[in-house]
Structure 1
Amino acid sequence: MAASCYGMAAISCGSSVTVRGFGVGNQFFVPSSLKRNVNFRGDEQEQAPASSAVPPPPKPTPPPKPKVKTGFSDVLAFSGPGPERINGRLAMIGFVTAMGVELANGQDIFSQVQNGGIPWFLGTTVLLSLASLIPMFKGVTVESKSGDLMTSDAELWNGRFAMLGLVALAFTEYVKGSALV
């Protein structure tokens, strides 16, 4: 008798009620026209009526990318994109060239500069500086050109290590008084 009264309460209140031992799957079926969103068990969340379903909020649009400043003083500012990139690229070329000439001829870095290295240094500096600055003045960032293997962060770190390597090479050869190799 208690089970049938409990079942009647479910129909009159309009909710699906679990009654142990009765019905298929231990649940009474209540038509949706009779449901009033009453929760008898307490562990189920109330369901909103189908007619008042609220659509999900629209996805927010991503913020626009900040405009890249392309002025001369912006690109070559102390914290700008130009100085460290250019110095790092020049250091990478300089370190590899200095080591290559040292292995080929046995000259230390100071002998290389004294024996005609200044025009090569100036030419390389101008060429790499222009090749680095022209895209920066057009608003192209190195991050936009990064790939999976060749990333902008890897270039920065390689340039930093090359700068340290070039200074360490010059210092070591100065202290030693001859070529490193």
Structure 2
Amino acid sequence: MAFTSAALQTIFASPALASRTRTTSYSFPRIASVPRLSRNAVRCMATGDEKTEQSSEPTVVPPTTSQIPTPTPPKPQAPKVSTKFGDVLAFSGPAPERINGRLAMVGFVAALAVELSRGQGVFTQISEGGSTWFVATSVLFTLASLIPLFKGVTVESKSKGLMTSDAEMWNGRFAMLGLVALAFTEYVKGAPFV
């Protein structure tokens, strides 16, 4: 209301409108006598014989946006990571696919290296003592992968640059597929792949 009143006063009191009113037969009443009310002004409607009283207190003008300090946003906190055994080793937990992927990467590279150096296929490697190495490697990599997870350290917090947690996940998936494809090819062929 106060803004509209001030805007109308500005428009009607402008010299362009005043000169226009002189040339035409229309005359506008003087609006300059309308009191200006601040945004926080209080109006009191008296009932009956009571008279309206105006407050003698000064009106408080709200601060402008440049005077109000902008609050700094809080730092985003990392979500709490569960360190319970069941949560870490759950099907959708952080451990199973990563551990399997890491073992598949080691197994795929080791299988190809032994096949190139000795000419033995995957099944021959397993039957001639490879299962002992497989169990030892599995235990070592599983413990090495679980210890940080039980301490609450996430894989994502330690991944930077090219060595990201997503890159490790995809490499593990490809290594799992590669190891299965290598074993299947040697089974169908009946001979080592290389």
Residue 125 of structure 1: how far off its partner (Å): 0.3
- Picking from 53, 70, 73, the partner of 2:83 is 70
2:59 aligned partner: none
- CA deviations on 1:13-69 (whole Å, 9 max, x unpaired) are 7xxxxxxxxxxxxxxxxxxxxxxxxxxxxxxxxxxxxx8422254233244321100
Aligned position for 2:157 = 144
Pick from 56, 61, 64: which aligns with 1:53? 64
Kindly, what percent of the aligned residue pairs are identical? 67
Tell me which stretches of 4 or more aligned residues in structure 1 moved more than 3 Å. none
Separation in 1, partners of 2:77, 2:160 = 22
Consecutive unaligned residues of structure 1, counting only runs of 5 or more, are 1-8, 14-50
1:89 paired with 2:102, answer yes
The counterpart of 1:102, out of the listed 115, 119, 122, is 115
- For structure 2, list consecutive stretches of 5 or more residues without a partner in the other structure: 1-9, 15-61
Structure 1 pair 52/71, CA: closer, same or farther in 2 (3 Å)? Answer: closer
Correspondence list, 1:109-124, <5 A: 109-124=122-137
Q: Secondary structure at the match of 2:157?
A: coil
- Cα distance per residue 1:121-172 (max 9 Å; x no partner): 0000000000000000000111010010100000000000000000000000
- CA RMSD, aligned part only? 2.0
**Alignment of 1:171 onto 2:184:** yes
Q: Distance in 2 between matches of 1:62 and 1:68?
A: 18
TM-score by length of 2: 0.66
Deviation at 1:105, TM superposition (A): 0.4
Distance in 1 between residues matched to 2:131 and 2:63, nearest whole Å: 80
